Chain A
Amino acid sequence: EVQLVESGGGLVQPGRSLRLSCAASGFTLGDYAMHWVRQAPGKGLEWVSGISWDSGSIGYADSVKGRFTISRDNAKNSLYLQMNSLSAEDMALYYCAKALGGGSGHPLYGMDVWGQGTTVTVSS
């Protein structure tokens, strides 16, 4: 079964850091680009960041550029998102998603497999 499982969310104080992980199973992560998409409570979907299969193409939303870093370890079938300087605006459910293609860190062709998400709460 093709599956993505996110972890690492939790409660964090403003200004602090958190690292999210996404474990893939049922397919070879290294064949595909991967993305992080978030959804604030009661709001719509927002693309956060993406990384090509070989980490050669990486993209970030303007809202997280300079604060978040995406990375991957194909040998471990895992995707990561390092989030620094967190604020209340970053509070959301964070989804890991598999791209239809492999070559771009930007979601050009859609995302066909999604995890169930991990919740990030930013509060003092």
Chain B
Amino acid sequence: EIVWTQSPATLSMAPGERATLSCRASQSVSSNLAWYQQKSGQAPRLLIYDASNRATGIPARFSGSGSGTDFTLTISSLEPEDFAVYYCQYWETFGPGTKVDIK
């Protein structure tokens, strides 16, 4: 069984800063990794699929990278609407999430 971790659990950032979120697997996996954003009281929104492809309508400040066991979601310059919880997903498993909150 592959165990997924996301770090940090909480990221306190200011608008305009660069955020780097990590998703790590206990063993090497394919690139079928997705990232989602979930704001309070809302459904998840797909940001990235296949590790690095932005979903339709997702701003260019969101980017995904990584392979093997280590994957990263980067938000180049945080906008006020980006403060949310972010989940990675690989096949049937979602990571525990990283909360990005305002410093």
Chain A interface residues toward B at CB < 8 A: 37, 44-47, 59, 61, 95, 100, 106-112, 114-117
In the assembled complex, which residues on chain A have CB atoms less than 8 Å from the CB atom of B91?
A: 106-108
Q: How large is the interface on B (under 10, 10 to 19, 20 to 34, 35 or more residues)?
A: 20 to 34
B87-A45 in contact (CB<8A): yes
> Is B45 part of the contact surface with A, judged by Cβ < 8 Å?
yes
Cα distance, A112 to B50, chains bound together (Å): 12
B96-A109 in contact (CB<8A): no
Q: What are 16 inter-chain pairs, A to B, with CB distance below 8 A?
A: A44-B97, A45-B38, A45-B94, A45-B97, A47-B89, A47-B93, A59-B92, A95-B43, A106-B92, A109-B34, A109-B50, A110-B32, A110-B50, A110-B89, A114-B44, A116-B42
Main secondary structure of the interface of A (DSSP, over half): loop
- Kindly report which residue of chain B lies nearest to residue A112, judged by CB atoms: B46
A13–chain B nearest beta-carbon distance, Å: 27
In the assembled complex, which residues on chain B have CB atoms less than 8 Å from the CB atom of A109?
A: 32, 34, 49-50
- Known contacts A44-B97, A108-B32, A109-B50: A114-B43 contact under CB 8 Å: yes
B51–chain A nearest beta-carbon distance, Å: 10
In the assembled complex, which residues on chain B have CB atoms less than 8 Å from the CB atom of A107?
A: 89, 91-92
- Known contacts A46-B94, A61-B92: A111-B50 contact under CB 8 Å: no
In the assembled complex, which residues on chain A have CB atoms less than 8 Å from the CB atom of B43?
A: 95, 114-117
Cα distance, A47 to B36, chains bound together (Å): 13
Give chain B interface residues in 5-20, CB to chain A under 8 Å: none
